[in-house]
């Protein structure tokens, strides 16, 4: 094996540096071409993404091996210098190292994956890429009402994964509990209002329950979690002389805004048909932005 690398070891340092630059450029161009063309042979978006990430990873490995082989005869001489420089680099690049550790934790424990909707710190959105140093998120919310995408791309350091909580809307149980508030006058028929709200909520979320119930059963088999009521509930409170109904229900994590629109559309229609038995209290009718999120770590 030594006779194969003997011609390389005999090269001068300047020639090796020139070969290193040229070799890295060639490797970069070759794997860049593979990264662009190879995923085109796969139909599913998820498969294309995985192939692209695999090609990038192999490219890094090939580049490192190339440099190790090229400078193999000089690695022993610079080991002490590398040790001293490495100690300084650890201090100077502690954020980078923490982000790399975060990437390792993400790869090992899988708190989230590409395609999941998560919240890290104040940033909430859908994960579109996970690199060694950063997680790329297509953001939702902020100046856009509800859970709609605002078009902004956020790149969050992976170090935040090991420094704080990560909320996952998707993993394990793909539903969240949400609620709306309906405020009626004190003279409204509260029994009729409750019956109307329960009926509308059950009808609107019925198609979710068939999928949510077995999904929650699988979740409770793996974790010590209480078994809550998945069917919609309606709670009444008297607030400022008005009847305030809170309608709670489960909804698929991407359809919170759509679900509120459906519910309020049907509620407004039923109140119109009530012939004065039900009346809006004022313009204070609103939808609550709060929801109980299920955060699952694996």
pLDDT exceeds 80 at position 276: yes
Q: Is 240 exposed, middle or buried (0-12, 13-18, 19+ CB in 10 A)?
A: exposed
Of the pLDDT bands very low, low, confident and very high (cuts 50, 70, 90), residue 296 is: very low
pLDDT exceeds 90 at position 151: no
Share of the chain above pLDDT 90, in %: 24
Helix (H) / strand (E) containing 166: strand 166-168
pLDDT exceeds 80 at position 139: yes
- What is 175-287's CATH number? 3.30.70.100
The overall average pLDDT reported for the chain is 79
Of the pLDDT bands very low, low, confident and very high (cuts 50, 70, 90), residue 288 is: very low
pLDDT at 89: 53
Q: Where are the domains of the chain?
A: 2-92, 104-167, 175-287
Please answer whether residues 259 and 205 qualify as being in contact, where contact means their C-beta atoms are separated by less than 8 angstroms: yes
Please answer whether residues 234 and 245 qualify as being in contact, where contact means their C-beta atoms are separated by less than 8 angstroms: yes
Q: What is the mean pLDDT of residues 228-246?
A: 89
Per-residue pLDDT tens over the stretch 178-221: 999 999 999 999 999 999 999 999 999 888 887 888 888 777 76
pLDDT exceeds 50 at position 175: yes
- What is 104-167's CATH number? 2.30.30.60
204 or 172: which carries more pLDDT confidence?
204
Q: What 8-state DSSP symbol labels residue 125?
A: E
pLDDT exceeds 50 at position 293: no
5-19, 143-157, 196-210: the lowest-pLDDT one: 5-19
Q: What is the mean pLDDT of residues 52-74?
A: 76
Please answer whether residues 175 and 208 qualify as being in contact, where contact means their C-beta atoms are separated by less than 8 angstroms: yes
Q: What is the distance between the alpha carbons of residues 60 and 206, in angstroms, rounded to a whole number? A: 50
| Most confident segment among 80-89, 115-124, 260-269 | 260-269
Q: Is 141 exposed, middle or buried (0-12, 13-18, 19+ CB in 10 A)?
A: middle
Helix (H) / strand (E) containing 139: strand 134-140
Of the pLDDT bands very low, low, confident and very high (cuts 50, 70, 90), residue 11 is: low
Share of the chain above pLDDT 70, in %: 79
pLDDT at 234: 93
Q: Strand 117-120's sheet: what is its strand order? A: 149-157, 134-140, 123-130, 117-120, 166-168
pLDDT at 96: 75
The answer to whether domain 104-167 and domain 175-287 are alike in fold is no
pLDDT at 138: 92
pTM of the model: 0.62
pLDDT exceeds 50 at position 294: no
24-38, 78-92, 115-129, 259-273: the lowest-pLDDT one: 78-92
Q: What is the distance between the alpha carbons of residues 155 and 137, in angstroms, rounded to a whole number? A: 6
2-6, 147-151, 184-188: the lowest-pLDDT one: 2-6
Of the pLDDT bands very low, low, confident and very high (cuts 50, 70, 90), residue 283 is: low
139 or 45: which carries more pLDDT confidence?
139
pLDDT at 105: 87
DSSP letters of 171-221? Answer: SS--EEEEEEEEEEETTS-HHHHHHHHHHHHHHHHHHHHHHHHHHHHHHHH
pLDDT at 85: 52
Return the structure tokens found at 100.
């790399």
């Amino acid at each position: 094996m030594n006779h194969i690398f003997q011609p390389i070891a005999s090269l001068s340092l300047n020639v090796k540096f020139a070969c290193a630059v040229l070799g890295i450029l060639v490797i970069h161009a070759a794997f860049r071409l593979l990264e662009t063309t190879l995923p085109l042979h796969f139909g599913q978006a998820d498969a294309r993404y995985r192939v692209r990430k695999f090609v990038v990873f192999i490219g890094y490995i090939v580049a490192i091996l190339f440099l190790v082989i090229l400078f193999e005869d000089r690695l022993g001489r610079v080991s002490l210098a590398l040790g001293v420089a490495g100690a300084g680099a650890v201090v100077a690049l502690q954020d980078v190292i923490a982000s790399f550790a975060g990437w390792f934790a993400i790869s090992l424990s899988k708190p989230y994956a590409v395609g999941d909707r998560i919240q890290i710190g104040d940033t909430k959105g859908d994960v579109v890429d996970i690199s060694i140093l950063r997680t790329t998120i297509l953001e939702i919310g902020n100046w856009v009402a509800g859970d709609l995408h605002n078009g902004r791309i956020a790149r969050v350091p992976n170090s935040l994964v090991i420094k704080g909580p990560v909320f996952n809307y998707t993993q394990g149980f793909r539903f969240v509990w949400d609620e709306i508030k309906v405020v009626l006058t004190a003279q409204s028929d509260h029994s009729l209002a409750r019956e109307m709200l329960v009926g509308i909520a059950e009808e609107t979320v019925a198609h979710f329950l068939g999928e949510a119930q077995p999904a929650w059963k699988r979740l409770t088999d793996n974790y010590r979690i209480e078994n809550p009521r998945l069917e919609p509930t309606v709670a009444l409170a008297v607030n400022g002389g008005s009847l305030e109904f809170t309608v709670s229900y489960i909804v698929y994590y991407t359809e919170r805004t759509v679900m509120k629109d459906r519910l309020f559309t049907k509620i407004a229609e039923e109140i119109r048909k009530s012939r004065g038995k039900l009346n809006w209290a004022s313009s204070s009718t609103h939808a609550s932005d709060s929801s109980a999120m299920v955060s699952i770590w694996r």
